[in-house]
Amino acid sequence: MDRITLTGVTAVGHHGVFDFERREGQPFVVDAVLYLDFAKAAESDDVRDTAHYGEVAQRITEWISGEPLNLIEALAVRIADSLLNEFRLQAVDVTVHKPQAPIEVPFGDVAVSVHRARNNGESPVQGERP
């Protein structure tokens, strides 16, 4: 399967279990790997025949800056499901980084990753939304 890799999509979000996280916000960084077949796009040389990564990046930032969630796990699943449902993808990997997480010891990053794939080419395997 062919893939597009989009790394470092960054926006301020208000996700977290603590009141100050929701009040003050912090940066979240998302990486996404989009799995799809490039055959039609390669033949047509038309962006409409692939997943437009500019539009994908925009959708990711909308999720980051949108409705506050307690867990970055929930954010990762919502982003993955959204991308799988809105674009011509066979599968997607999404990693959400929370580099300023309120952790009391020195750390470099905290991140969660999810993988979602279409079942028989139609709907997400997990995390499916109505």
Residue-range domain boundaries for the chain: 2-124
Which pLDDT value is given to residue 123?
44
CATH of domain 2-124: 3.30.1130.10
pLDDT, position 128: 36
What was the pLDDT predicted at 64? 98
Below-70 pLDDT ranges, the chain: 120-130
Q: DSSP letters of the chain? A: -EEEEEEEEEEEE--SSSHHHHHH-EEEEEEEEEEE--HHHHHH--GGGS--HHHHHHHHHHHHHSS--S-HHHHHHHHHHHHHHHSS-SEEEEEEE-TT---SS--S--EEEEEEEEETTTEESSS---
98 is annotated as an active-site residue: yes
Arithmetic mean of pLDDT over the chain? 92
Distances (CA, A) of 23 to 14, 98, 117: 7, 16, 34
Residue pLDDT, tens place only, 62-88: 999 999 999 999 999 999 999 999 999
* pLDDT at residue number 77: 98
Q: In this predicted structure, what is the pLDDT of residue 119?
A: 82
Give me the amino acid identity at 74: A
Catalytic hit among 98, 114, 116, 124: 98
